[in-house]
Amino acid sequence: MTYTTKNAEETIKFAEKIGKLLKPNDIIAYKGSMGAGKTTFTIGLAKGMGLDVWVSSPTFALVYEYEGDIPLCHFDMYRINTLDELYSTGFFDYLDTGRVLAIEWSENIEETLPKNHITIDIQINEGDSRTITVLGDERFENIGD
């Protein structure tokens, strides 16, 4: 499904709806350029998951982990180019541990990404408008209504 937002608040609200429907071991693979709103979306995702946390970009840490009923792991793969580098983030240790994994720059680990992931593609339109496409799970088909 595709949904267009007019500002960051709308993106957070939309992401909250997705977050409410997430289940343990779900993998969110973000696509979209710098400044598209991947980190902003994750703020809403965490809110929807019921996590009372301050989400910030894991650019330098590579991964931030947030505890909760369903914990959330937020990755930034921007600097990840090799399998060794991916191992160093702990990515493989986090798979199938019940956590939700939200992965910025999933483009960089495309070959390694488990097949059953949810894609969230955020495209920048004019101004503050963003077109968000959610693919890979029928749970989200009618979420924009």
- Choice from 19, 36, 37, 39 touching Mg ion (CB under 5 A): 39
List interacting residues with ligand ADP (CB under 6 A). Answer: 5, 7-8, 10-11, 32, 34-40, 57, 104, 128, 130
Tokens of 110: 């495309």
- The yes or no reply on residue 8 touching Mg ion (CB under 5 A) is no
Q: What is the dihedral of CA 124, 17, 72, 23, to 10 degrees?
A: -130
CA atoms within 13 A on the CB side of 23: 6
CB of 96 to Mg ion, least distance (A): 25
Q: Which string of b and e fits 8-42 if b means at least 16 CB within 10 Å?
A: eebbbebbbebbeebeebbbbbbbbeeebbbbbbb
Residue 7 near which of ligand ADP, Mg ion, none (CB within 5-8 Å, type-dependent):
ligand ADP
> CA 77, CA 103: separation in Å to the nearest integer?
7
CB of 44 to ligand ADP, least distance (A): 9
Q: What is the largest CA-CA distance in the chain?
A: 42
Residue 128 near which of ligand ADP, Mg ion, none (CB within 5-8 Å, type-dependent):
ligand ADP
CB of 96 to ligand ADP, least distance (A): 26
Q: How far is the CA of 22 from the CAs of 78, 123, 140, in angstroms?
A: 24, 22, 10
- The yes or no reply on residue 38 touching Mg ion (CB under 5 A) is yes
Between 38 and 99, CB nearer to ligand ADP: 38
CB of 92 to Mg ion, least distance (A): 22
- The yes or no reply on residue 130 touching Mg ion (CB under 5 A) is no
